[in-house]
Every structure is written in C-alpha cells, then in structure tokens.
Structure 1
C-alpha cells in the first residue's frame, strides 16, 4: 500500500467513525507510529483532518458542513420559539437535561429561565454563554474540539463526558427527520456525541422545525424508535404524516 492509498483510507475511516485514535491507525495499517504521525501531519496541512490530543477528526468541508450559526439563528425564529415552548412544558423544576447544539435547542435555552434548580449539560458554547447568566441553572460544559462556525464541541472528550452522566432529558437538534431513516445529521463528526447523549437520558426529544421533516441528511443518528418524540411546527405540511405515528408532535407556530 502506498502512502497516498493509506492516507485516503484514513480519511474514509474518519468519515465513517467520526473520530479515530492515532494508536489504532498504527495497528490497523501495520506501520510504526512515526509513519502515522507523518501521515497525520500531511493530512492536517492539506486540510483533510483536524488533529486532537491522541487522535483526529475529519475536517469539515465548507461545501458540506453545517450552515454557520450566525445564519441559522435567524431562520424560522417564530417556529423555533413555538417548538421550544412546547419542549419547556415537559420540563419540571429540579430536573436535569442535556442540550445539544442547534438554533432550535438554543431557543429552549432562552426559555429555561422560567424554571428553577435546573441542571444542564451541553456541548454548545452559545447555549452555555446564555445559561451562564442564570444563577438557578447549574451548568456543565463538555470538553472537546470546536467545529468551525457552529460553536459546537465534538470529539472523544465530548463523547466521554456524556457517557459518564445520567439525566432526565436530552433535547437534540437534527438536520433531518424521516419516518424510515429516523434522525439524521449533516456530518459524521457529531454522531458519536449525539448517540452518547441519547444513551445518557431517560427521555430524548428532538426539536426540529418543519423544514427538517421528511428530509434525510447524510449521517444516521438513530431510528425514531430510539427516541421518545419529535416536536415540530405546523408551518409546512408533513408528507406521510400517518407514518410517523405518535413520534411526531406538531405545534402551532
């Protein structure tokens, strides 16, 4: 195998897994650590990977990555606020929750000031900044590497944080919600983090405006059976509404 072939396979492996430990690569390709370090240095310089402590993440392609937060936060504001209020109605004082990244979940963070003694764990820096202003909220911020433009922390440190906690709720964002494909996301980097969030929570609710319903993004997070329900708005008609069953809760925007 040539160095070019090995490096291409490393990138493909990253896209499939979302994170790879550098030590694993030496064993997988039967080469010494110095060879892998040269590969990673080359891939980083050419913009194909992001290096982290002990491993690496796939570099985010600007043509395929998330829409910058500065753009997303101003889209469908009324719908997202209605979804957030519906989610808030399920939360009681004294409960704990995970807040995923995303502009719809951020609207829930804005609304949480009406609850008391809430514990929040998040990997979204914009959400963390918002919640830090409320003394009745105990805030935990996951570690990790920040994705460009979206203020989201990802990587093995982030995943590990959620693997070691237990909460009442997980409120997740999504790029796509489909009755067959379930919950999907635009990139692979966030998938292990989202799956760890789901595993850490008693109940998981996905917050997605109606533009996301029926859409299938690139990366699979989970099937609808894995979560409790999806909250969306009524601004756009949902095709095949009956196929979502009780998993889809539509609120008036």
Structure 2
C-alpha cells in the first residue's frame, strides 16, 4: 500500500541518509513515476531533499554522502584521466590499497598489464570489478556494508588492515582544501582513511579539480601528509605553491609521471 511504502521510504532514508531513485524502484518493484509521487509527498513535509537521481535527508544535506550511483555519473572523463595517471604509478608485484570512491574505481582497467599485483580494498565495486578481470590477488577488508559508498566500514576493517604491508594507497575524498586538508562526509570511512595514511608507504590522492576548496564533515589528513596528488588538470597557483613547499608531487595529464614514485 502507498502509505506503507512512504513510511518504509522514511525508514530507509533515516538509516542510509541518501538513496537513489533506482534503488527505491528496485526495492518496492514500482515505476519511477510512482516513486517520484511518493517523494513529492515526503518533500512537502520537509523530511527530505531531492537531488539529481535520488533523495537525501533534509537535515543531513550538507554532510551526508550522496549515493554512490549519483556520484559515479559526475565528471567521468576527468576521473578516468586521473585513474589512468594513478595506474601508471603501480608496478608489478605491488601491494596496493584502492580506496572506495568514484575516481579510484576507474584504475582497474588500466592495471590489466600488471603482474603479481595484490589489491586490498573495502570497496564492493572494486572487489567485483577486479574479480571480473580474473588476474589480481584480491583481499577484502570485510566489515559492515555502508550503503552510501558501497564500502565496508567498522573495527573489522581497521583490524584487518594491520596485517597488510601496503606499498601504495590510492585515496579518495569528498573535498580538498589547504585550510582543512583532505575531507570526507562519513566518520566511519574517515577513520579507515586516517589509518591508511599512517600505514601506507606511498600515499596518492585522486581528486578532480571540482573538489578544490571544498570541506566536508571530517578531515582525515593534511595535504602535506600525502606523497602525490593526481588531478585531471593544473590546479590554482596557491595549490601548486603549497604542494611544492611541502614536497608533495603533483601529477596531471600534462605532466610526466615521476619515476621516484614508481
């Protein structure tokens, strides 16, 4: 019944903070037209806000992560350029961590020529995509599934990461700024990212320039804590100056990969 469906949408949104329209259609086995009518009724109450492709809790709109399905459709070409550059930093025999994110996931097609590569990840997407290529040693962190990012979180992830000697970590973020560093909207994910920054031998940030001067809920490291920042194009001068002063390598599509980071 309609009234039961609307109540269930409320409960799902309270649990997950954001949901895509496609997920709602699949959950209730109804059309997008029906779901949008339900959403319109809930929106009138001030309970939610409509975003492109889905809905978010109104009270969480500034800090809650958007659904993975919404974020992955943005700036796709820029993300692929960044991922291609990042993949050039991976060598045969590396043990790498691929963070959950809509940029890092694009690395996989560019890694197919690598031999004896081990991929550690908490990302469900990365696990599935890497398994489909059938050539990598894949290690899942386990943990509780966090739906907005389609990634595992919790103490299980942190405990498992202690056992792995990660040579290179390829990190994602919601926002990047000199003042607030590298930020993320999820406290649970931020805890994992902070642990990786402390553990990995080389830390790479993959971020398109639309994330510059954006600060999300939690800072998980400073820009100066990274070894390399990878972007699709040259950032503003103040970022270039800051990275240079702190000995952080900047790689873009116009720069040559640095051999000392390989």
Contact 2:92 2:115 in 1 (8 A): yes
Quick check: 124-133 or 162-171, which moved more?
162-171
Contact 2:85 2:253 in 1 (8 A): no
Contact 2:228 2:251 in 1 (8 A): no
Task: Provide the residue aligned with 1:222 in structure 2.
Answer: 221
What SS is found at the alignment partner of 1:117?
A: coil
What SS is found at the alignment partner of 2:203?
A: strand
Measure the CA separation in 1 of the matches of 2:134 and 2:151. Answer: 23
Give 5+ residue unaligned stretches, structure 1.
1-43, 50-59
Counterpart mapping for 1:49-60 below 5 A: none
Normalised by the size of structure 1, how large is the TM-score? Answer: 0.71
Q: Across the two proteins, how many residue pairs are aligned to each other?
A: 200
Task: Provide the residue aligned with 2:142 in structure 1.
Answer: 143
Give 5+ residue unaligned stretches, structure 2.
1-10, 17-55, 255-262
**What is the RMSD of the two structures over their aligned residues, measured on CA atoms?**
2.6
Contact 2:143 2:153 in 1 (8 A): yes
Task: Provide the residue aligned with 1:240 in structure 2.
Answer: 238
Aligned: 1:251 with 2:249: no
Would the alpha carbon gap of residues 237 and 224 (structure 1) be closer, same or farther in structure 2, given more than 3 Å must change? closer
What SS is found at the alignment partner of 1:133?
A: helix
Normalised by the size of structure 2, how large is the TM-score? Answer: 0.69
Contact 1:214 1:239 in 2 (8 A): no
Contact 1:229 1:247 in 2 (8 A): yes
What SS is found at the alignment partner of 1:108?
A: helix
Measure the CA separation in 1 of the matches of 2:231 and 2:249. Answer: 7
Counterpart mapping for 1:43-122 below 5 A: 63=61, 64-122=63-121
Runs of 4+ in structure 1 displaced over 6 angstroms? Answer: none
What SS is found at the alignment partner of 1:120?
A: strand
Task: Provide the residue aligned with 1:196 in structure 2.
Answer: 195
